[in-house]
Amino acid sequence: MRLLLPLFLLIVSFPMGLWAQSYAQEENSSGQATPTASQQNPTDGFLHFTPLKHVISARSVLDKHGVTIGGWLQFDGSHVVSGGLPRSIAFDGQYLLDISATVDMKQLIGWKNGAFLVDMQSHSGPNIVTHQVPGIQDPDNMDAYSETSIDRVWFQQDLLRQRLQLRVGLMYVDEQFLTVPYGQNFVSLDFSSDASISTFVLPTYPKGSFGGDAFVYPVKGLYFSAGVFNDHSTELPYDPGGNLYLTEEGWKSSWHGLPYKLQIGGWRDTGRFRRFIGGTVHHASGVYFVGSRKLWQPAPSSDRGVGMFFQFGTGPPAVAAVRRHFGAGLVWTGPTAARNHDEIGLAFSDSLLTAQNSFSHGFENEIEGYYQIYVSRRLTIQPDVEYWQHPGGMTTPNSFLFLVRIQYSF
């Protein structure tokens, strides 16, 4: 039942998007609809005489004043092919609806180099993967308990000819820190941020954190950054208090005409954390590294090609389940000229678990592969497979999962 509403919205919004695109193409520079022979089509008549026209016109007016409305609707379906814990449900699904408004402050009120964002989300969950494959790392990075909320509200200001960027508000920390180039389209959480912190204190989806950060770009390709946030991940069953501090330094350049990026960072949390063997500690800290590079492309500046990433992170073994994390992956964009927007991904994750907890195994491993099918600029369909060894570090049998992710942008 919980899939009926988003399915209805997808069915309705898809033709609305097509009609909107058709209408926009028929507008001239003065904003007046240009008569064409196609206006005698019943679809065009419907557009002309219904409130949909006013919705499109309102969006056009907002765009002219620097207010951009957009969003996406995502479905994830999951099936445990083998292993895992026994459950009665063979297949399950969930959805995520995300709508955001981004404001260019210069267009709106003449405030130079300022931007404002507010984002709302509604999602269902959790699905069967949470119960059948209780991994420390999340097999589905969209999985969360059902909720509708404002999850992000922030203001960003660029100064000193865009050499200094300041952001403050309610944010996902891994939007700015711990990002993994080429890792964002994997379904598992392992490859979009580092498991040593994302399974511990990192404030990210579905709960943002209040705080601020600063990024400095002294020369082309180099940046220094720092941030402080006062909330923690929903992965923790308790609130440790304190603040999370992060710093990250990065370098982007190219070698033999192929771009690469290096990121190194560290974090420290001033909260009071419960030790696995009893008692508390007054802080926790760790470091991380991310390296990424394009390995091959058929032509200079081509979006097609093969890219890779490597990630490493540490967590405090007295209070964090993952004491070391290693991850690596390959992503092939445009496997053929005819399918130049499709994408193939393959990645491996190794989480070394702390010996101070009662884990049955000392590690949790995952292999994930996907093929993302580019249907249109608004719609992608992504079959995905995952193999988990020692999920949760306990006695849960090794598990093989099949997932499919469908995303429609509007």
Q: What is the pLDDT of residues 193-246, one digit of tens each?
A: 899 999 999 999 988 899 999 999 999 999 999 999 998 887 888 999 999 999
What does the pLDDT read at residue 221? Answer: 96
What does the pLDDT read at residue 53? Answer: 55
Query: What DSSP designation does 199 have?
Result: T
What does the pLDDT read at residue 7? Answer: 44
What does the pLDDT read at residue 237? Answer: 87
User: How far apart (Å, rounded) are the C-alpha atoms in residues 34 and 48?
Assistant: 12
What does the pLDDT read at residue 230? Answer: 93
User: How far apart (Å, rounded) are the C-alpha atoms in residues 369 and 380?
Assistant: 16
Where the chain has pLDDT below 70, the residues are 1-59, 88
User: How far apart (Å, rounded) are the C-alpha atoms in residues 409 and 4?
Assistant: 18
The 3-state DSSP class for residue 134 equals coil
What does the pLDDT read at residue 144? Answer: 87
What does the pLDDT read at residue 401? Answer: 95
Percent helix, strand and coil across the chain, each rounded to 5?
15, 45, 40
What does the pLDDT read at residue 62? Answer: 80
User: How far apart (Å, rounded) are the C-alpha atoms in residues 73 and 16?
Assistant: 14
User: How far apart (Å, rounded) are the C-alpha atoms in residues 231 and 210?
Assistant: 7
What does the pLDDT read at residue 55? Answer: 55
Our measurement of the distance from residue 17's CA atom to the centroid of its chain's CA atoms, rounded to an integer in Å, reads 23
Q: Which structure tokens are listed for 202?
A: 């990192």
User: Please, which residues have CB within 8 angstroms of residue 290's CB and are 6 or more apart in sequence?
Assistant: 178, 179, 180, 181, 194, 261, 262, 263, 309, 310, 311, 312
The predicted-structure confidence for 18-42, as pLDDT tens digits, reads as follows 333 433 343 343 333 333 333 344 3
**Domain at 151-401: CATH architecture:** Beta Barrel (2.40)
Residue 253 burial class via C-beta count within 10 angstroms: exposed 0-12, middle 13-18, buried 19 and up: exposed
Instruction: Judge whether 288 and 314 are in contact, CB under 8 Å.
Output: yes
User: How far apart (Å, rounded) are the C-alpha atoms in residues 322 and 303?
Assistant: 35
Q: Which structure tokens are listed for 273?
A: 């954390």
Our measurement of the distance from residue 391's CA atom to the centroid of its chain's CA atoms, rounded to an integer in Å, reads 22
User: How far apart (Å, rounded) are the C-alpha atoms in residues 16 and 38?
Assistant: 17
Q: Which of 401, 251, 391 is nearest to 321 (CA)?
A: 391
Residue spans of the domains in the chain: they are 1-64, 151-401
- Write down the H helix ranges in 83-181: 105-109, 128-132
What does the pLDDT read at residue 232? Answer: 83
